[in-house]
Structure formats: structure tokens, C-alpha cells
Structure 1
Amino acid sequence: MFFLAIRYSKVLEERGEVTYDSTVIVMSIEVTKILVSVTLRYVSSGEFVPFSVTIGPRRGQLWRMSWLYITPAFLYALYNNLTYINLRLFDPGTVQLFMQTRILFTGFLFVLLLHRSLSLRQWGALGILTVGLFIKYISPTVMQAVGVRLLSIQLQAFFSSLAGVYNEVAFKREAGTSIHLQNFFMYLYGILLNLMLGLLVAPHKYFQESIFRKPHVIFIPIILLGAINGLTAAFILKFINVIVKAFAASVEVILMAVVAAVVLGEPLTRQDFIAGVFVMCSVYLYYTKGCGSNVTCKSK
């Protein structure tokens, strides 16, 4: 639903009905998420985080811990802004499908940087994913948009996988820290980085196209869905089994394309559907255990 709302806003933008800067929207989502995190922390433990990090006795310890969150906050700031660019160039189904290349990037980052081994099942899943992406790449809906525009999705997927690998390594030592406190610092740095990004890239456009100067009802679902999407992802990563994430991601590949075709009238060909099935199967195989899971292929 989040991708669909953004895509619809881009349709409205092309019609001249709305205009906005993506960094302002992203920052508004981060503000919403940080308010929710502060509220949840206060409700669950009675701690008011802004007090703790400003004049509380643990403020020094908390700020030293917070430095861990600058790198992923920066990567997610780039990732989030690329979402708006890519959904202006491509339909939600295409973006969702090619975003699964983050599995490829994650696999190779684990092997090359962390020197971990992938199972035969995971390498097979990466092979199936490559076939699915190739089928989508040569489909009529994508062939007309190759080159730099398609590279933009790959860059977004790479930032996502790099942030995930970083979190895998860096956050283990903070496993006992409250998720609400972790989210507070992540979103705080996200707000600051998005503000800097907007002012550095296009300062005049940043103020002229503020959503507060030219409000539109479409901004409400984008901000709310973006906040729900981000908070849910954080809870899934910390508390829920990775298999649940695998099922959700694999089903979403096909579901997004179908819903976008029905609701927004986006093109959906048989070739697109076949590519989606390949990618959906690869996501499921990569994150679950079964035949080939116990056979590892070590990198040299």
C-alpha cells in the first residue's frame, strides 16, 4: 500500500495537481516514527527518552551508543529518497520485483566481507532470482526503461542490503537495548540527515515545494503508511522469525504487481507474472531451510 500511495502521488504530480520534495516527506515520516517510539517507550517502561538523552544520568552512555546508528540512518535516508525517484520512473510491481536484488547483494556481501558461507540451497535461490530478473528485464514494460533508470533501483537495493549487513554485525552488541530506544536514535539521525540532504541537493526547491506550503490529502496516507511500514520492519527484524519475513516478501512480489494493475491501471503481462513467480520462489528458498540447506559452498 505504501508503494501504491507514492506511485499515485507521482501520477498526480505529472498531472500538475500536486508538487513536493521527497526529502520533506521522508523527514515527516521519520518525525512520525520517532514520536511513536517515544510514546511506546514511555508506555512500556515509564522512561521519557528526550529527558534521558538530554539531562538524564545515562545521557553520555546513550549518546556513545547512538553513534552506531548514524551509518544505517544515512543508508536508509538514501534508500527512502530513491523510493520516490524509482516510483516516478517505474510501476510498483517492477520496483518491488527488482528490489529483490538486495538478496543477491546481501549474499555476496556476507561472502566477501564477512567471509560467511552460503548453502547450496541459497546459491540455487540466487540463480533462480537471476533468471527471474532476466525475464523481467527483457519484458516490454522494462526494455523501454533500461540504463540509468534501472540502475537507480539497483542502487536502492544495494543500500538496503548494505544497511542490513551493517545491522547484522553492529547491533549484536546492543541486543539487550530496547527497540524503542534503538528506533529513537535511528529516526533522530534520519531526520537530521534528510534535512541536510534536502538543503544540499536543492535548497530552493526544498522550501518552495514543502508539503506544508502546498498540502494535499495524498500526503496523509503516504506519511502514515510510511511510518507503519518502517516501525513494522523494525519489529520484524528484532522479534519475528525470518521465515515470516520471507513469506511476506515473496507474496508481496506478485501481489504488488496485481494490485497496481487493478487499482492504478499499470501494465501487467504474462512475462511479468512468470518473472514474479521465479523471484517469489527464490526469496522463499533463500530464507527457509530444506533440501540443500546443510550443504555449504565456501568462497575461496
Structure 2
Amino acid sequence: MQIGGSATLGLSMSESPDNIDYERSFSSISDDSISFKQKAEDILHSIGFRAMIFFQILAYGSYSVLVHLCEKDGVIAFSSTTMNFILEFVKLIFSFGALFYYTSVNINICPNKIQIISWFRQSLPYSIPGILYFINNNLAVHMQVHMDPASYQILSNFKILTTAILYRLIIKHKLTRQQWFALSLLFFGGLAYSFGTLKNSSFVPKTVTTDSMIIPEMYIRPLGVPMIAIYCTFSGFAGVYNEWILKKHYTESLHLQNIFLYSYGTILNLFPAIFSATIKFSTLSFFNPFHGFSFYTWLIVLTQALNGLFMSVVIKHSSNIIRLFVISFSLIVTSLLSLFIFHITFNIYFFISFITMTCSLSLYYSN
């Protein structure tokens, strides 16, 4: 799928008589807002776009389950920064490939100082969501040991509250009284669930067999509450701010915008990943950055890399509202997987929260 137009990244257009025609063509396309609106409409109504949404629901819903399958003796077996480095690097390589495939550019092997400074200034706005995603993506891994997959997915719906508030503050999107009531209902429903489940989960044993892991009941450990609060706040801010940047420079190639964002993610995860591998080297007596990786870890990398790339298309051509739809519906996937894989028993708080969440979402989106 071709998204966006021409781009510059320390790159130079091929020197040819057609270069002037290309620049004129690009200028006319940039000025033609109607064509971009039509392009966005075509993307939103395409079968491919709907397939992206369906895949994202599966990816979001399976994430927590896959991380729990990577647990060993109650701890995450792999380095979160190493996994996220690989994940960001895969997305970065794909974005470079897509940029070169869809855009007529030649690599300037030795960019001058002006080009480097220009690229750095152009990328600076993406450093904010890059830092927030770096924190959140690692936090999302480690908080899994403090709650079961279904609890994580329910409490992740607090993203709807933080996103809606930040939408109002950053993008100036007004909410109706009905929507504010729906958000209040969602908040208090999630709050009641967290305290109700927290009360009965000081320690929940997990039964690990050669074939599977059994989580007998839903649980949230005390540290899980502040972790999910930070996670949802950062996620909401990063999502809204990223959408604001993508749409502010709508005529700019999405692949170039992704390169800026994923470059920060790759760099920020690289150094902690090296540090983590070095620490393990002292205990393992051999350097293995992939220590603790399993089939499920690589499955996380694959699904979340595609999920991130697809979400950039959704946010640029639609809005974070669809992202929130995806998060909400992914609870069904998580619940089913938890039931069949971990044989988890859902408590009364789950069903109360599920009903409350369904009502609040219905009120919010029906407006």
C-alpha cells in the first residue's frame, strides 16, 4: 500500500532533466488537498484497511497472553529492551524499504553538515512520542507479572479516558455530556474492578507444567495499579501527540515519519539492551543478547511490529478513536485465550466491569 509522497532524509533526488518536472508534480500534489482527502477515504473503505483493524485486535488481544507464556519462575525470561530493540529495528528497516520503493530517491552516502542538521531538526518532534513509547513498551512487558492477561486488558481501557482528555487539550476535540458521562462510567467501573480484584490477590500461585501454565484466578498485585496508571497516561499522550504530528504534516510520506519515530525507539532501546546483555554475560560466561527468547518471544516481535506499522496507517488516515475501538474489542480475544490456555476462572468483578465497559463504550461511540 502506498502511503504519502516524496521525502528527504539526507537523501538527494536523482540528477536528471526530469527532476524539475518531478518537483513541479510534487508541488501540485501537495497543494491539492482534495486528492489527499479522497486518498484517505479510499484507504478507510478498503478491504486492506479493515483487515488491518482485524489483525490489530488479534495482536492487542494476544500480547499479554504471549508475554505470560514467556514467564519462568514468575519472572520475564527475556530482556524487554532487547525484544523492543529488535521490534523497533524491524519496523525501521521496513519503513526504509518502503520509502525507497515508493519514492524516487538516491542515498547520499556522505551527507553534509547542513543535511544532517536539517534531518535532526525535522525528526525532533518525533522524539517525544519516541521516548514515551520506549518507556511504555518496556513497562507493558514487566507489568504482566503483576496481573493476569484479562485484568491487564480491562485496565488498559483507561487509555480511553486519558486519550479523550488529551484529545480535548491537544487537538481541541470537544466532548458532549454523554461522552463525559460514559468516560466517568468507564473510569469508576475499572477502579472498582482493580480494588475488588486487588483485595483478593495478595498471592496467586501459577501451576506450570511441561505443556502449559495454569492461572487459577484473576489477580492484580499492588504494584500493578500504579504501573497501569502510568502506562495508560503515557500511552494516551503518545498516541494523541503522534496523531497531531502525522496530520500536521499530512502530505509528508508516512514512511519517512515512521523512520523518524522508529529511529528514536531503536536508539533508546539499543543501549539498555547492550547493558542487559553485558550483565547476563557475567553470569552466563558467554554473550547471548537473545537469552530467554522463545518461540513466543519472536511471535510477539512479529505481531507487534506489524501492529505498529498498521497503527501508523490508522492514526494518520483516521484517528485514535479507531485505536480505542481495537483496544476495547481485544478484551474478547484476551478473555478467550486466557480461558483456553491458562484455564483462568473469571470472578464477579470481571463480569461487572465487562458490562460497565460495554455500556460506557456504547454511550461514548453512539454520540
The reply to whether TM is greater than 0.5 is: yes
Q: Is the 8 A contact 2:247 2:316 kept in 1?
A: no
CA distance in 2, matches of 1:24, 1:242: 28
Question: Given residue 166 of structure 1, which amino acid in structure 2 is its aligned partner?
Answer: Y
Deviates most, 36-45 or 154-163: 36-45
Q: 1:281 and 1:32, CA in 2 relative to 1: closer, same or farther beyond 3 A?
A: farther
Does 2:103 align with 1:45? yes
Query: What is the deviation of 1:210?
Result: 4.8
Give the secondary structure class of the aligned counterpart of 1:218: helix
Q: Is the 8 A contact 1:254 1:276 kept in 2?
A: no
Query: What is the deviation of 1:199?
Result: 5.9
State the match for 2:70 in structure 1: 9
Give the secondary structure class of the aligned counterpart of 1:266: coil
State the match for 2:350 in structure 1: 272
State the match for 1:293 in structure 2: none
Q: Is the 8 A contact 1:253 1:279 kept in 2?
A: no
CA distance in 1, matches of 2:172, 2:74: 50
Matched residues, number: 284
Match of 2:94 among 36, 49, 52: 36
Alignment RMSD (CA, Å): 3.1
Q: Is the 8 A contact 1:103 1:126 kept in 2?
A: yes
Spell out, residue by residue over 1:85-107, the C-alpha distance to the aligned partner (whole angstroms, 9 max, x if none). Answer: 11122112111111111222233
Does 2:180 align with 1:105? no
Q: Is the 8 A contact 2:189 2:353 kept in 1?
A: yes
Query: What is the deviation of 1:183?
Result: 0.8
- Which structure dedicates a bigger proportion of its chain to helix? 1
Give the secondary structure class of the aligned counterpart of 1:162: helix
Spell out, residue by residue over 1:143-168, the C-alpha distance to the aligned partner (whole angstroms, 9 max, x if none). Answer: 42353321111111111011123224
Spell out, residue by residue over 1:195-244, the C-alpha distance to the aligned partner (whole angstroms, 9 max, x if none). Answer: 24446789624886854355432222121112112112111111246564
CA distance in 2, matches of 1:134, 1:240: 30
State the match for 1:82 in structure 2: 139
Match of 1:55 among 96, 99, 111: 111
Q: 1:24 and 1:210, CA in 2 relative to 1: closer, same or farther beyond 3 A?
A: farther
State the match for 2:78 in structure 1: 20
Q: 1:177 and 1:115, CA in 2 relative to 1: closer, same or farther beyond 3 A?
A: closer
Q: 1:199 and 1:215, CA in 2 relative to 1: closer, same or farther beyond 3 A?
A: closer
Deviates most, 185-194 or 147-156: 147-156
Match of 1:192 among 257, 267, 271: 267
Question: Given residue 40 of structure 1, which amino acid in structure 2 is its aligned partner?
Answer: A
Query: What is the deviation of 1:117?
Result: 3.7
Gaps of 5+ in 2: 1-61, 202-219
TM-score normalised per structure 2: 0.67
Match of 1:149 among 216, 224, 230: 224
Question: Given residue 260 of structure 1, which amino acid in structure 2 is its aligned partner?
Answer: S
CA distance in 1, matches of 2:182, 2:109: 44
TM-score normalised per structure 1: 0.81
Question: Given residue 30 of structure 1, which amino acid in structure 2 is its aligned partner?
Answer: E
Question: Given residue 19 of structure 1, which amino acid in structure 2 is its aligned partner?
Answer: A
Deviates most, 166-175 or 225-234: 166-175
Percent sequence identity is 25
Q: Is the 8 A contact 2:98 2:255 kept in 1?
A: yes
Query: What is the deviation of 1:257?
Result: 1.9
CA distance in 2, matches of 1:70, 1:186: 7
Query: What is the deviation of 1:80?
Result: 0.2
Q: 1:220 and 1:166, CA in 2 relative to 1: closer, same or farther beyond 3 A?
A: same
Q: Is the 8 A contact 2:134 2:269 kept in 1?
A: yes
| Paired residues for 1:118-129 under 5 Å | 118-129=175-186
Which structure has the larger Rg?
Answer: 2
Q: 1:282 and 1:132, CA in 2 relative to 1: closer, same or farther beyond 3 A?
A: same
